[in-house]
Amino acid sequence: MNIDALATTARAMVAPGKGILAADESTGTIKKRFDSIDAESTEETRRAYRELLFTTEGAPKYVSGVILFDETLRQQASDGRPFPKVLADSGIIPGIKVDMGAKDLAGFPGEKVTDGLDGLRGRLAEYYDLGARFAKWRAVITIGDGIPTRTCIESNAHALARYAALCQESGLVPIVEPEVLMDGGHTIERCEEVTLATLERVYSELHGHRVVLEGTLLKPNMVLSGKDCPTQAGVGEVAAATLRCFLRVVPAAVPGIVFLSGGQTPEQATERLNAMNAMGDYPWELSFSYGRALQAPVLEAWRGSDANVGAAKRAYHHRAKLNGAARYGNYSREMEKVSV
């Protein structure tokens, strides 16, 4: 394990003004995205769509890394270059989603645990050879009546730590993603309580598995009201609750926190990240690792047509630029009105 190399990569992924594009949708998930714009999901249309994203001029100014799906990591651009090389050539670090999805936790109705540890060491070695330099593993924690249980939190934290240790052994920076879902009617206070308990356990397990925190990134949820909660917390309240929670539990050794968008609109995800960065300096970089919050406008502009590739690229560049501004606390809603 080369700790210096891992730490250097982790810091580069949260370079000032930059964040991560999550383009790691599974085949089933991207089909749903394509269905929403009446586009057929085939290996070729998925390849063409990802190439659109990866070859957008100017995007590397705001995007430091891209998380890929297994299929995408093995695909090539129309000029014959493998996608990891396309990204690396533009100064973007290629990464890979390695978990096998959240499955029902036996004996605990309504709760999930993430699969994918079996055979992971071999897969990580192959992914490194294919050009990946970081990985991602997502765990999901649901808030509901009597949940999450301690067993659910502990099971997911343990799996995240085992995954992270195997990544570092293989030379890959692990993105640790414990997501407390915004589904439900819970208050922002309940979300903060569960997020704090989850992160406390995650970092306890990471320490127990001798994971070097300088060579990791955290990809958490923001502390939000449940989407069905009658009283929705404002932007300032979300920023304050999120930072209060993380200051209590996320070690300063972690180079950066790259938030997931988790069902927020593109504007909400950008505005809330901006509010946090506008509140001051913190031990870690506060960045983004957005999927839908970066891609929703792109898909709407593209709609599966080659004729719309230019418009889709402009939409992606614009959204990336706005999130780049949010990294400095310089974003405003007025910037949304700029024509793309």
Question: Which has the closest alpha carbon to 290: 316, 311, 254?
Answer: 316
> What does pLDDT average to over the chain?
96
Tell whether the model's pLDDT for residue 78 goes beyond 90: yes
Angle at 327 between CA 323 and CA 333, to 5 degrees: 50
Tell whether the model's pLDDT for residue 1 goes beyond 80: no
Which DSSP letter does residue 147 get?
Answer: B
- What residue ranges define each of the domains in the chain, with the CATH number in brackets? 3-329 (3.20.20.70)
Tell whether the model's pLDDT for residue 340 goes beyond 90: no
Which phi and psi angles does 230 have, rounded to 5°?
A: -65, -30
Sign of CA dihedral 85, 325, 259, 271: negative
Please confirm, yes or no, whether 219 is among the known catalytic residues: yes
With cut-offs at 50, 70 and 90, classify the pLDDT of residue 338. Answer: low
Amino acid sitting at position 179: E
Q: What whole-number percentage of the chain has pLDDT above 90?
A: 97
Instruction: Give 283's contacts (C-beta < 8 A, 6+ positions apart).
Output: 250, 251, 252, 254
Q: What whole-number percentage of the chain has pLDDT above 70?
A: 99
pTM recorded for the entire structure: 0.96
219, 271, 313, 321: the active-site residue: 219
What mean pLDDT do residues 149-163 have? Answer: 98
25, 51, 111, 177: the active-site residue: 177
How far apart CA 210 and CA 147 sit, in angstroms, is 29
147: how many CB neighbours lie within 10 A of its CB?
A: 17
How far apart CA 81 and CA 287 sit, in angstroms, is 29
Tell whether the model's pLDDT for residue 339 goes beyond 60: no
197: which 2 tokens? 């308990």
Tell whether the model's pLDDT for residue 164 goes beyond 90: yes
How far apart CA 144 and CA 51 sit, in angstroms, is 40
User: SS3 of 206, please?
Assistant: helix
User: SS3 of 136, please?
Assistant: strand
206: how many CB neighbours lie within 10 A of its CB?
A: 23
With cut-offs at 50, 70 and 90, classify the pLDDT of residue 246. Answer: very high
Which phi and psi angles does 320 have, rounded to 5°?
A: -65, -40
Instruction: Give 241's contacts (C-beta < 8 A, 6+ positions apart).
Output: 188, 189, 191, 192, 223, 233
Please confirm, yes or no, whether 193 is among the known catalytic residues: no
Tell whether the model's pLDDT for residue 86 goes beyond 90: yes
